[in-house]
Amino acid sequence: MKHLTTGLLMISILCACARDIDICEHIDAGAPVFPDYSGVTVPVNIAPLIFRYDGDAAQSALILSAGNTVFRMKGPEFGIPIKKWHALTSEGDITATVCIKEDGVWKAFKPFTIYVSADKIDPYVAYRLIPPGYETWYKLGIYQRSLESFTEKPVITNDKTDNNCMNCHSFCNRDPGKMMFHMRAKNGGTYTWNEGQIEKLNTKTPQTISALVYPRWHPSGKYIGFSVNDIAQFFHTTNPNRIEVYDSMSDVVMYDVDNHEVFTSPLLTDTTRFETFPAFSPDGKTLYFCSSPAQKVPGGYKDIRYSICSIAFDPETGAFGDRIDTVYSAARSGHGATFPRVSPDGRFILFTETDYGCFAIWHHDADLRLLNLEDGSISSLDEANSAEAESYHCWSSNGRWIIYVSRRLDGLYSRLYISHIDENGKASKAFLLPQKDSHYYEEELRSYNVPEFIIGTVSFNMDDMAKIAKNDPGINVTFSNKE
């Protein structure tokens, strides 16, 4: 009854607005709005696309229509209520008409369409929020955001852990109950949240280059693939890319979750090559990773180009295959590949292509590409890319959505974009993760980092995690010689 009353009240308000917007003229131009959501494809369960009229007119309004549902509101900020938005998305594609009042009459810009896909998106995304800095940090944290609303909650923030650095969060099959991340500097270690237990791991072994770095959970949950890297950085004097982050050595190893061991293969630890960024096929029987001929750095930084390679892996025995296959050849493409991410159906690898180097987020040219593993073709995903860096991508559970970061808004601060991928691997025009306030991104001085879809919320207690971080000496991970 209460809902019915609210609904009737809303309709009367909407009708009142409707009476106010009597369109007399049409403007032969698209509406100046921010963010630009014209022509984007959104999942049916996405949070409202809040945007604003960004022109000079003193009065503005928005008419949204889908099927038999029409919603009108005054601008310039079009704060569409969630329920009303979902009433619209349930009807199908939405037509948005922005109007302005000039010289006493309402004029309508060319309408645009927001395409609504019935393919649902996972309900949550986890990401790190951190200023796009180089060496220093102060406040940072890993957060989880509902994609169906605007609710954002911290997973862990560094004010609980002596303002240390934390990074490289990763989930097993988007399961919020199987998560890992690293803390760096103070309280340093790798932390796993698995089967309701928190473990602190000390992961540097005498046999490995470094502590564990870039992770990817094996789909079985029994292993986590990691790279171990000797990472350095330098600053350009002139290049707009500002900074290069590079490895002087790197290998790929496997971490055995139950036995607290790392192991690897000589084929993944070739001293003449840099191996990094592990990823797994959905059946867990293939390990993909990036590999480049080793270069003398920093001088040879422009000659570092990673191919995407694969090696067989037996999850039952932990044995690796005896040969490396190349699925994307840097030598052939003239570019390099980083961050391979295999689609849930195993047909595609989504990766970042850049002219050189491994840390593509600082490269303006970095774009997403889609490698079709069935025929070896590469799609340029133009609808998902921009003139600025795109990277840190991941797949939704149903393989129909990708979320990734892009620096397209201002060239520096990474924001989350979502694009639909159809069954043929074709991307739709990406949309900026909506926020409750359309000014949010202009004011926000932190970057979004490593978005990972999750199917629920991470439930460990931050204080418990902090206690372990500060007081627990951690489990010393050992190196196993099994091959």
Partner 1 sequence: MKFFVIAVLAILPCVTACKGNKSVETDWQKVIASYKDDGKAVNYHELAKLNLALAETGRLAEDVFKYTQAGSAGLIPEWNRTNEVGTVLGDVYWSMGHVAYAQRMYFEALVVGENERDPYLLTRLVQTNLVLGAYRVAEKYISILENDGFDCSRYKPLLYDDSAVDSDPELGPKRRCVPIKDHISLEEGLEEDLKVIIRQNPSYRNAVDYLGVLYLLECNMDGFRGFLDEFYGTEALPKLPKAFAEAACMLSQLESGYWKKVGVDKRMWNDYRDFKTRIETRLSLDKYKGTFWYYILRANNQ
- We find the least distance from the C-beta atom of residue 300 to partner 1, in angstroms, to be 12
Binds partner 1 by CB under 8 A, chosen from 12, 234, 322, 325 = 234
First and final C-alpha spacing in the chain = 66
Least separation in angstroms between residue 447's CB and partner 1 is 11
**Minimum distance of partner 1 from residue 239's CB (angstroms):** 4
Cβ 184 vs Cβ 190: under 8 Å: no
Q: Which residues, 161 to 200, sit near partner 1 by CB under 8 A?
A: none
| Comparison of 296 and 332: residue with beta carbon closer to partner 1 | 296
Region from 39-47, 165-173, 277-285, 439-447 binding partner 1, contact rule CB under 8 A: 439-447
Least distance in Å: CB of 354 to partner 1?
Answer: 17
Could you identify the residue written with the tokens 């079009």? Answer: 78
Nearer to partner 1, 57 or 409 (CB): 409
Q: Which of 85, 95, 84 is nearest to 37 (CA)?
A: 95
Site string for partner 1, 126-145 (x = CB under 8 A): -----x-xxxxxxx------
Residue with Cβ nearer partner 1 (135 or 375): 135
Measured from the CB of residue 235, what is the shortest distance to partner 1 in angstroms? Answer: 4
Using the rule CB under 8 A, is 296 a contact of partner 1? no
Cα Rg of the chain (Å, integer)? 24
Residue 191 three-state SS: strand
Q: For residue 350, list its beta bridge partners.
A: 341, 370
For residues 326-340, b (16+ Cβ closer than 10 Å) or e, as one string? ebbebeeeebbbbbb
Scanning 71-79, 110-118, 231-239, 475-483 for contacts with partner 1 by CB under 8 A, the matching segment is: 231-239
| Residue environment code for 38-61, b if the CB has 16+ CB neighbours within 10 A, otherwise e | bebbbbbbbbbbbbbbbbeeeebb
Site for partner 1 in 90-119 (CB under 8 A): none
Q: Which of 167, 265, 171 is nearest to 218 (CA)?
A: 171
Q: Determine, following the binding rule CB under 8 A, whether residue 437 of this chain makes contact with partner 1.
A: no
Residue number, 76 or 123, with CB nearest to partner 1: 76
C-alpha distances (whole Å) from 175 to each of 69, 212, 220, 457, 465 are 36, 21, 12, 9, 18
Q: Letter for the amino acid at 401?
A: W
Q: Which is nearer to partner 1, 79 or 133 (CB)?
A: 133
192-226 b/e with 16+ CB inside 10 Å = b?
bbbeeebbbbebebebbbbbbbbbbbbbebbbbbb
Report in angstroms how near the CB of residue 237 gets to partner 1 at its nearest. Answer: 5
Interface with partner 1 includes 236 (CB under 8 A)?
Answer: yes
Q: Does residue 235 belong to the site contacting partner 1 (CB under 8 A)? A: yes
Give least dist CB 163 to partner 1, A.
Answer: 10
Chain CA centroid to CA 36, Å? 20
| Segment 396 to 425, residues that bind partner 1, using CB under 8 A | 409-413
DSSP E strand boundaries for 51-133:
51-53, 59-66, 69-74, 77-78, 94-102, 105-110, 112-117, 124-130
Residue 84 or 242 having the CB closest to partner 1: 242
> Is residue 83 within the footprint of partner 1 (CB under 8 A)?
no
Q: Which is nearer to partner 1, 110 or 302 (CB)?
A: 302
**Pair 405, 391: CB distance under 8 Å:** yes
Nearest residue to 209 (alpha-carbon basis) of 226, 184, 191, 189: 226
8 Å CB contact between 272 and 333: no
Closest CA to 61 of 23, 90, 26: 23
Q: Which stretch binds partner 1 (CB under 8 A): 150-158, 224-232, 304-312, 441-449?
A: 441-449
Which one among 298, 334, 376, 456 touches partner 1, defined by CB under 8 A?
A: 298
* Residue 361, SS3 per DSSP: helix
Size of the site for partner 1 (CB under 8 A): 27
Q: Is 292 within 8 Å of 274 (Cβ atoms)? A: yes
Q: Toward partner 1, which CB reaches closer, 41 or 447?
A: 447
How far is it, in rounded angstroms, from Cα 428 to Cα 93?
14
Please report how close the Cβ of residue 462 comes to partner 1 at its closest, in angstroms: 21
Nearest distance, CB of residue 152 and partner 1, angstroms: 18
Residue 180 CA to residue 203 CA, distance in Å, equals 13
Interface mask (CB under 8 A) for partner 1, residues 237-266, using x and -? xxxx-xxx----------------------
Nearer to partner 1, 112 or 246 (CB): 246
CB of 232 to partner 1, least distance (A): 11
Q: Judged by CB under 8 A, which of 28, 375, 443, 463 binds partner 1?
A: 443
CB closer to partner 1, 64 vs 183: 183
Return residues touching partner 1 (CB under 8 A): 131, 133-139, 234-240, 242-244, 298, 409-413, 442-443, 445
